[in-house]
Structure 1
C-alpha cells in the first residue's frame, strides 16, 4: 500500500514539474503570439495545475492527452487575455489535432458531433450579430466541442451553457472590486470570452467524466 501511495505521489510531482517546464514554453509562445509578455510565473502555475488535475482524474495514456488539452487552453487563454484575440494557428490547429487524434482512435464521430453542436450556434450568432461573438470564439468552439463530445452529450451541453455564466460572473466581480476601490468607469469592461469557454469545457469534462 505504501509503495502504491509513494508511486502515485512521485507521479503527481513529476507531472507538476513537467507542467512547470511546459508552462515556461507556453509563456514564450503566448508572448510571441500576442506581442506582449504574460505575467511572470502565470503560465507555469496554470500549466502545473492543469497537469496535476490531469493526473488526478485520469490514468494511463489519457493523462498525457488531458494535460495537453489543459496546456492548450492555458496558451489560448493567455493570448486572449493579453490582446483579446484568438489566433487561427492555436484555435484551428488545436481543433484539427483533436479531431485527427479522435478519428485515428475510433472516436471521430463523437468528436465531430460535439464540435458541430458547440460551434454551430456560435457561428449563427456571429453571422447574425458579428459584434456579439467573435470569429475566434467560433473557431475555438470546434476544438472544445470535440473534447466535450468525447465526454458525452451532457458535457457538450455544459460546455455551451457555462461560458456566458462564467464571463458574466468575472465581469461582475471586477465591477464590484472597482466600485469598492472607488473607481468609476465610463463603460463596462469587455472581457475576452475564450478563457471562460476553456474553463467551461474543462469543468464539463471533469463533471461528467
Structure 2
C-alpha cells in the first residue's frame, strides 16, 4: 500500500506530471541521441518514477526532488541504451545541479564526498583500462555519487558495488535468451553501464534512506 504523502489527488497529479515530463524526456533523448525511443516508453517510465517518488518520500518537496532525480536517470539511461554514449550535457550538467543544490542547502560536504567516493575508483579503472570503463560512466558517477552521499555511507557502498552485478546479470540474461532461441554463440557485446549505475543509485537511496 502506498504511503500517500500528498493525498490521492496529489499522487495522480504527480503521475500525470511524470507522463508529461516523459514526453519531454523522449524529445530530449531524440535530439541528443539522434533517434527517439519507442512512443510511450519514456512517458510510462517517468510516470512510474513519479509514483515511486511519492511512495518513498514524506512531503511534496521531497517527492518532487526524488522524481526529478529519477527523470534524469530515465533520460540518461535511454540515451545510453540507444547509442552507448553519455553526453556531457546530461552527466556533468546533472552533477553540477545536484552538487550546487546540495551546497546551497547545507549538505555540500556529504554530496561532494559521495561524488568523490563513487567516481574516483571508476576514474582509476578508466585510466588503467579505458575499454572496460567509459569516460561518460565516470562523469555520471559524480551526480549519482552526490545523491547517494546525501543518503549516507551505506547508500554510497551499494551504489558502488551493485552496478557491475546488474550489468553482468543483464549480459547473462541476454546470452541465455539468445541460446534459448538457438542462436549461434557470438562474441559478447558490450552493454551500456549507465542504466545499471542509475538503477543501483536509486535502489541504494530507497533501501538506505
- TM-score, shorter chain, exceeding 0.5: yes
In structure 2, the residue matched to 1:192 is 192
Find the aligned partners of 2:96 and 2:41 in 1 and give their Cα distance. Answer: 27
**Residue 160 (structure 2) aligns with:** 160
Corresponding pairs, count: 206
Q: Which runs of 5+ in 1 are unaligned?
A: none
Q: Are residues 6 and 64 of structure 1, via their aligned partners in 2, closer, same or farther at CA, if it must alter by over 3 Å? A: closer
User: Over residues 34-91 of structure 1, what are the superposed CA-to-partner deviations in whole Å (9 max), with x where a residue is unaligned?
Assistant: 0011111110011001100101111221111100000000000000000000000000
State whether residues 5 and 54 of structure 2, in contact with CA within 8 Å, keep that contact through their aligned partners in structure 1. no
Partner of 2:66: 66
1:75-154 map, 5 Å: 75-154=75-154
CA separation of 1:5/1:39 partners in 2, compared to 1, >3 Å: closer, same or farther? closer
SS at match of 1:53: helix
- Name the residue aligned to 2:7: 8
Does residue 180 of the first structure (1) align with residue 157 of the second (2)?
no
Give secondary structure in 1 for the equivalent of 2:132: coil
**Contact 2:88 2:136 survives alignment (8 Å):** yes
Alignment-derived partner of residue 18 in structure 1: 17
**CA–CA separation in structure 2 for the residues paired with 1:183 and 1:10:** 49
TM-score (norm 2): 0.96
Give RMSD over aligned pairs. Answer: 1.4
Verify the 8 A CA contact 2:117 2:145 in the aligned structure 1: yes
Where does the alignment leave 5 or more consecutive residues of structure 2 unmatched?
none
Misfit runs of 4+, over 4 Å = 4-7
Matched with 1:36 is 35
Q: Distance in 2 between the 1:162 and 1:6 partners?
A: 29
- Partner SS state of residue 130, structure 2: coil
Deviation at 1:173, TM superposition (A): 0.8
TM-score (norm 1): 0.96
SS in 2 for 1:192: coil
- Cα deviations by residue, 1:111-143 (Å, 9 ceiling, x for unpaired): 000000000000001011111100000000000
Distance 1:6 1:98 in 2: 24
Stretch of structure 1 that moved more, 72-81 or 181-190: 181-190
